């Protein structure tokens, strides 16, 4: 059996390849990005797996669903908030069901290392009434993803695999199983009435989904993924990566009863066995208190002490650590120790020479005499314009929100209403907001920051940049007279301020495209020294 | 307690590598993983870079034969390999009196300090490196501070800093693999471009380990 050192994300990707996928679909987002990147890299040139970044997660999901409909296996991966974008096809695909296996891998980000919230995807799995598998380590990332494909085809449902940042971005040795022989025949097309969710069909399909729930519970009851060990009167329920922290805190043979959970719906039989055996149950899970809430029910468990995130045994927010878990079991950690003195932080910041810096400078100068100017921003490197020295940003909510929010605010009398959105975020979800704002000729100024890449997640390919974007904007109804392109460079500062002033004075929709490539992907030739060229090829890179 | 004695009480080797974006922290961690995995050890390695990928703080753990949790509990690092003084000090929660610390004394000044200075908002100063080293040494007596960046430069490129630090770690003889074996395993995974500098830098690191007598008595 082959073994390989892999990130959790990579193990998921390898499992999808070995399961015989015909396509992988995704939109970049930390910590899920490497799943797609690994698949694309590994299958490059072999022609059997289609890989292309999608415009957004909803599109990615639908592309994967279409592939499944056509009878082939597909994987779609995204970060947790990406599933919000894809929620519509996600929930409805549980009603249509799948044909070829469809596996949805979602990476949650507890602790919000690089996200705007720490929502727990297990709730969305339950909401859609589909099976959820939760690996606890890299090996299980591989094994459970392989299992997810088999389960998906057996049940005729999409299957969700939930991982978290620490698992995505940790590396361990993974044993890789035999790959599914290729090529896989496409399964025949399904009954078209099952996939056409007009009310008459949808009611029937929802009934089918409800009728399938006992089979889902039965799967969890019998799955060897869940493991119960009955011992002492203190019982521990540990799900996913939290299982590692429990083992770390309590050692190999703690004497407690332990239920390790990796499938949802929850294995009710095992939970009942544990509860009947124990007086006290400690629930350790990454994310929201999902299991704990279900265990308590509305009225609690009479005669049992349930501990976890609800009673403060573990913190209700943030990421679990071995220290926090050890403390929950009354074991004091060695530390944590004070750091030496007052250490300067290293917050993320715009790179030296970043085009956004010059755009913000020009924008701040142009708006300095407007005390009520509001800048709605979006998700990307330019969100960092909220930090000193700019402190220019008033909002960052979700992908594409800047344009729609500026429109709404302008209708409430905000003037000037400005927004900044990057080229990739624009094609992700900004275009739909702009088409309405253009139709209504909203009194606002849109800054489309075209750096020709998805910079924040590592420079993935973007859907449209340069002249393509201009054509796109015109097509969406933006008046050419109020569509300007500036090059954000210090030497053009004065004239850029002038362009912005003109846009602010126009009491309708103006769009300013600030066009200059991200310095991480394209650097002027003369500044690249011989040493840097060497360094770029060296292992010391990022 | 010397590392060998400690080993009997608490199985496994827990290494924390700390530095800033671009210093080669993640590469160093990956090479350690590949070496020990190839030797048949159980290896798990965590990394956190998140939004701070450009010039931000980067920490990576490498845990050999110590279970499957990628996170080192506080005070439980056997080795802290600090690529940068402030980042070494920031890793202090992982340090106990049993920890061996290798600390590069060459600073990478945080962007915010330069920015604050430019804005003249406040007197922004990088902390005194000697004080940082003393602070770490107050917890872990086996703290070795040296200018590894200079060693890397002498080997041909400051970009080979991570190889100096690895040379030092492996040269100490405290891990279940000799510096020689380590290099034989990982050398073929090195891109050719910096090859010579990497080799020299790694040797520089092992020499440093010998000079500092890290394998022997307390400093």
Residue-wise pLDDT for A82-104, tens only, equals 999 999 999 999 999 999 999 99
What is the rounded CA–CA span in Å between residue B194 and residue B156? Answer: 9
pTM (global) more than 0.95: no
pLDDT range class, residue B9, cuts 50, 70, 90:
low
pLDDT at position A533 is: 42
pLDDT at position B54 is: 65
pLDDT range class, residue A503, cuts 50, 70, 90:
very high
Higher pLDDT, A529 or B142: B142
Report the CATH number that the domain containing residue B106 is assigned in CATH: 3.40.920
Q: Looking at the partner chain, which of B20, B52, B68 has a beta carbon nearest the beta carbon of A172?
A: B68
Mean pLDDT, range A312-335, rounded to an integer: 88
pLDDT at position A289 is: 98
pLDDT range class, residue B46, cuts 50, 70, 90:
very high
B41 within domain boundaries: yes
* Yes or no, beta carbons of A114 and B73 under 8 Å apart: no
A89 and A158 Cβ atoms separated by less than 8 Å: no
Is residue B68 within 8 angstroms of chain A, CB to CB? yes
In this predicted structure, the answer to whether residue B116 has a pLDDT above a threshold of 90 is no
In this predicted structure, the answer to whether residue A530 has a pLDDT above a threshold of 60 is no
Return the beta strands (E) in A135-265 as ranges: 159-164, 170-176, 227-229, 234-239, 257-261, 263-264
Q: Enter the tokens of residue A514.
A: 């600030």
End-to-end CA distance of chain B: 14
In this predicted structure, the answer to whether residue B71 has a pLDDT above a threshold of 60 is yes
Tens digits of residue pLDDT in A138-162: 999 999 999 999 999 999 999 999 9
Residue B41's domain comprises 3-145+177-190
Tens digits of residue pLDDT in A345-362: 888 888 889 999 999 999
pLDDT at position A148 is: 98
Tens digits of residue pLDDT in A363-392: 999 999 999 999 999 999 999 999 888 999
* Yes or no, beta carbons of B160 and A538 under 8 Å apart: yes
Q: Looking at the partner chain, which of A170, A351, A537 has a beta carbon nearest the beta carbon of B70?
A: A170
Q: Kindly list the structural domains of chain A, giving each domain's residue range(s) and its CATH number in brackets, ordered by start.
A: 2-180+191-211 (3.40.50.970), 227-328 (3.40.50.920), 355-515 (3.40.50.970)
Residues 153-212 (B) with a CB less than 8 A from some CB of A = 157, 159-162, 189-191, 193-194, 198
CB burial of residue A11 (10 Å; 0-12, 13-18, 19+): buried
B202 within domain boundaries: no
Q: Å from A456 to nearest chain B CA?
A: 8
Q: Looking at the partner chain, which of A170, A249, A539 has a beta carbon nearest the beta carbon of B44?
A: A170
* Yes or no, beta carbons of A322 and B31 under 8 Å apart: no
pLDDT at position A331 is: 84
In this predicted structure, the answer to whether residue B219 has a pLDDT above a threshold of 80 is no
pLDDT range class, residue A283, cuts 50, 70, 90:
very high
Mean pLDDT, range B202-206, rounded to an integer: 96
Tens digits of residue pLDDT in A40-85: 999 998 889 999 999 999 999 999 999 999 999 999 999 999 999 9
Percentage with pLDDT > 70 across chain A: 94
A418 and A448 Cβ atoms separated by less than 8 Å: no
Mean pLDDT, range B142-171, rounded to an integer: 96
Tens digits of residue pLDDT in A244-254: 999 988 887 78
What is the rounded CA–CA span in Å between residue A174 and residue A440? Answer: 55
B155 within domain boundaries: no
What is the rounded CA–CA span in Å between residue A114 and residue A134? Answer: 21
In this predicted structure, the answer to whether residue B194 has a pLDDT above a threshold of 80 is no
What is the rounded CA–CA span in Å between residue A418 and residue A511? Answer: 10
Number of domains in chain B: 1
In this predicted structure, the answer to whether residue B217 has a pLDDT above a threshold of 50 is no
End-to-end CA distance of chain A: 32
In this predicted structure, the answer to whether residue B155 has a pLDDT above a threshold of 90 is yes
B166 within domain boundaries: no
Percentage with pLDDT > 70 across chain B: 84
DSSP, res A492? G
ipTM of the complex: 0.90
pLDDT at position A495 is: 97
Higher pLDDT, B32 or B48: B32
CB burial of residue A231 (10 Å; 0-12, 13-18, 19+): middle
In this predicted structure, the answer to whether residue A235 has a pLDDT above a threshold of 60 is yes
Percentages helix, strand, coil for chain A, rounded to the nearest 5? 40, 20, 40
pLDDT range class, residue A525, cuts 50, 70, 90:
very low
pLDDT at position A60 is: 98
Mean pLDDT, range B65-92, rounded to an integer: 94
Chain B residues closer than 8 Å to A341 by CB: 89, 127, 131-132, 135
Question: In chain A, which residue's Cα lies nearest the Cα of B118?
Answer: A389
B213 within domain boundaries: no
What is the rounded CA–CA span in Å between residue A325 and residue A286? Answer: 11
In this predicted structure, the answer to whether residue A336 has a pLDDT above a threshold of 60 is no
User: Any idea of the CA torsion for A218, A82, A114, A355, to the nearest 10 degrees?
Assistant: 160
Q: Enter the tokens of residue A237.
A: 């329920």
pLDDT at position B2 is: 47
pLDDT at position A429 is: 97
Tens digits of residue pLDDT in A440-454: 999 999 999 999 999
CA-CA distances (angstroms) from residue A48 to A20, A33, A172, A189, A460? Answer: 9, 21, 27, 20, 22
């Amino acid at each position: 059996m082959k073994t390989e050192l892999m990130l959790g994300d990579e193990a998921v990707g390898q499992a999808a390849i070995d399961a015989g996928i015909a396509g992988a679909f995704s939109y970049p987002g930390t910590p899920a990005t490497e799943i797609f990147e690994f698949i694309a890299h590994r299958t490059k040139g072999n022609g059997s797996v289609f890989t292309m970044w999608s415009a957004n997660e909803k599109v990615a999901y639908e592309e994967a669903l279409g592939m499944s409909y056509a009878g082939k296996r597909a994987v779609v991966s995204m970060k947790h908030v990406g599933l919000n974008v894809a929620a519509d096809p996600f929930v409805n695909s549980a009603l249509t069901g799948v044909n070829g296996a469809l596996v949805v891998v979602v990476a949650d980000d507890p602790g919000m290392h690089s996200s705007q919230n720490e929502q727990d995807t297990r709730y969305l799995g339950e909401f859609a009434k589909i099976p959820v598998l939760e690996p606890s380590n890299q090996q299980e990332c591989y094994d459970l993803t392989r299992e997810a494909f088999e389960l998906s085809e057996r049940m005729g449902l999409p299957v969700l695999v939930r991982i978290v940042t620490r698992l995505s971005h940790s590396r361990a040795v993974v044993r890789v199983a035999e790959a599914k022989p290729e090529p896989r025949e496409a399964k025949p097309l399904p009954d078209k009435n099952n996939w056409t969710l007009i009310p008459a069909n949808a009611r029937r399909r929802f009934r089918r989904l409800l009728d399938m729930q006992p089979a889902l519970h039965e799967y969890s009851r019998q799955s060897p993924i869940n493991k119960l060990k009955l011992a002492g009167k203190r019982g521990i329920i540990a799900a996913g990566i939290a299982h590692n922290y429990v083992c770390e805190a309590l050692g190999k043979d703690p004497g407690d009863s332990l239920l390790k959970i990796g499938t949802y719906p929850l294995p009710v039989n095992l939970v009942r066995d544990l509860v009947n055996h124990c007086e006290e149950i400690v629930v350790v899970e990454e994310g929201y208190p999902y299991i704990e809430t279900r265990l308590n029910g509305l009225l609690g468990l009479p005669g049992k002490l349930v501990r976890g995130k609800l009673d403060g045994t573990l913190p209700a927010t943030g990421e679990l650590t071995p220290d926090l878990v050890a403390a929950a079991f009354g074991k004091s950690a060695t530390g944590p120790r004070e750091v030496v003195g007052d250490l300067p932080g290293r917050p993320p910041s715009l790179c030296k020479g970043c085009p956004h810096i010059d755009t913000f400078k020009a924008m701040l100068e142009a708006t300095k005499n407007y005390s009520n100017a509001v800048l709605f921003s979006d998700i990307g490197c330019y969100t960092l314009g909220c930090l000193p020295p700019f402190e220019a940003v008033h909002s960052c909510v979700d992908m594409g929100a800047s344009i729609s929010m500026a429109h709404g605010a302008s209708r409430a009398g905000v003037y000037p209403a400005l927004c900044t959105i990057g080229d990739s975020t624009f094609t992700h979800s900004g275009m739909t907001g702009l088409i309405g704002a253009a139709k209504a000729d909203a009194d606002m100024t849109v800054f489309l920051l075209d750096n020709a890449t998805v910079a924040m997640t590592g420079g993935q390919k973007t859907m449209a940049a340069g002249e393509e974007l201009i054509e796109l904007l015109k097509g969406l109804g933006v008046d050419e007279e109020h569509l300007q392109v500036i090059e954000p460079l210090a030497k053009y500062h004065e004239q850029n301020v002038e362009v912005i002033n003109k846009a602010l004075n126009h009491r309708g929709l103006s769009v300013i495209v600030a066009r200059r490539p991200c310095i991480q992907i394209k650097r002027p030739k003369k500044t690249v020294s011989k040493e840097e060229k060497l360094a770029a090829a060296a292992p010391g890179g990022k | 307690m010397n590392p060998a004695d400690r080993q009997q009480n608490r199985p496994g080797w827990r290494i924390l590598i700390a530095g800033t974006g671009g210093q080669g922290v993640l590469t160093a961690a990956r090479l350690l993983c590949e070496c020990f995995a190839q030797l048949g050890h159980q290896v798990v390695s965590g990394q956190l870079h998140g939004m701070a990928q450009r010039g931000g703080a980067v920490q990576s753990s490498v845990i050999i034969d110590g279970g499957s949790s990628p996170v080192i509990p506080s005070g439980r690092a056997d080795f802290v390999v600090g690529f940068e003084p402030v980042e070494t000090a920031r890793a202090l929660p992982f340090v106990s009196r049993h920890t061996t610390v290798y600390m590069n004394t060459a600073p990478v000044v945080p962007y915010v300090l330069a920015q604050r200075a430019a804005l003249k908002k406040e007197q922004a100063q990088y902390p005194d490196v000697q004080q940082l080293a003393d602070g770490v040494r107050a917890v872990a007596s086996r703290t070795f501070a040296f200018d590894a960046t200079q060693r890397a430069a002498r080997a041909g490129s400051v970009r080979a800093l991570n190889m100096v630090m690895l040379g030092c770690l492996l040269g100490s003889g405290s891990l279940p693999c000799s510096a020689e074996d380590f290099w034989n395993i990982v050398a073929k995974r090195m891109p050719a471009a910096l090859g010579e500098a990497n080799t020299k830098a790694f040797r520089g690191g092992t020499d440093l380990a010998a000079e500092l007598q890290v394998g022997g008595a307390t400093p």
